[in-house]
Amino acid sequence: MGYEEEDFIVRQAKQMGELLGGIVGKKDAETILAFGNEAKTSELKEEAFDFRLSTIEDVPAIGVIVNQAKKYLKEQGSPQWQNGHEPHAAVIREDIKKKASYVLTLNGEIVGTVALIAEKDPIYEAIDGKWQGNGPYVSLHHVAVSQNYRGKGLGKTLLTSAIQQAQLLGLEDIRIDTYPANQPMLTLINKLGFVYCGMICFPFEHGERKAFQLLQSLT
């Protein structure tokens, strides 16, 4: 359900409550009106989230989220993660083996995934542009969130958690990339303070990506 649909339902509920107020009484009418307030304030609580290393047992759940994201991108007309270029099970297992794969959980349910790759990436090293500094860095890859909670800010929670984890790992330089037409991700990246540094290109069709960097102080 989109926000416009939700707002329509809220308005209808309030109008119905006002009409019924004269029939069922003020108290019952207020109960009906409260439905709209609950619909608007059903935000996810921060304390319900947990960010942790992925395990092999998490692979199926991660795969579901990746496939949801792949389908969503296709529906948006984006070639990103299509034709076998999504982070499939073998890639996820390799990330887990490196202790680079993380999941975001909500009340125990896996709702997001990201890989923190703390090693030099030859694709990033060949940037058409310029990174700020040449020290150690961590790249955020294979970012995906559950489509079951679309519009609830999961992407921001996931990337904020990844940034905090990078700090715990002692890494000030955080890098990320996305397809040039992936506007939701571009908007989120910019909101989190990443700075555009140039273009990189993976060795397959539609492999061009915008690359960003965030420098954070560890002190």
pLDDT digits (tens, 9 = 90+) for 13-51: 445 445 434 544 544 444 333 333 333 334 567 779 999
- What is the pLDDT at residue 10? 42
Sheet holding 109-117, edge to edge: 49-53, 101-106, 109-117, 137-145, 173-178, 208-215, 195-201, 128-129
Closest CA to 213 of 144, 136, 153, 101: 136
pLDDT at 3 over 50: no
According to DSSP, the residues that pair with 138 across neighbouring strands are 174
Find the mean pLDDT for residues 139-152: 93
- What is the pLDDT at residue 84? 87
Which tokens hold the place of 80?
């990103």
Average pLDDT of the residues of the chain: 84
Residue with the bigger pLDDT between 217 and 104: it is 104
Domain ranges of the chain: 3-40, 46-215
Find the mean pLDDT for residues 120-130: 96
pLDDT at 176 over 80: yes
**Which top CATH class is 46-215?**
alpha beta
Find the mean pLDDT for residues 86-110: 96
Residue 100 φ then ψ, to 5°? -110, -15
Residue with the bigger pLDDT between 120 and 2: it is 120
pLDDT at 166 over 50: yes
pLDDT at 7 over 50: no
Can you say whether residue 172 is alpha, beta or left, with left for phi > 0 and alpha for psi between -120 and 50 degrees?
alpha
Residue 201 φ then ψ, to 5°? -145, 120
The rounded distance, in Å, linking the Cα atoms of 205 and 191 is: 29
Residue with the bigger pLDDT between 16 and 83: it is 83
pLDDT at 194 over 60: yes
State pTM to two decimals.
Answer: 0.78
- What is the pLDDT at residue 39? 33
**Residue 96 vs residues 14, 32, 119: alpha-carbon distances, Å:** 49, 49, 15
pLDDT at 6 over 80: no
Question: How distant is the alpha carbon of residue 4 from its chain centre?
Answer: 22
Closest CA to 172 of 133, 120, 122, 129: 133
Which tokens hold the place of 37?
């307030």
Q: How confident is the model at residue 70 (pLDDT cuts 50, 70, 90)?
A: very high
Residue 153 φ then ψ, to 5°? 80, 20
Find the mean pLDDT for residues 176-198: 96
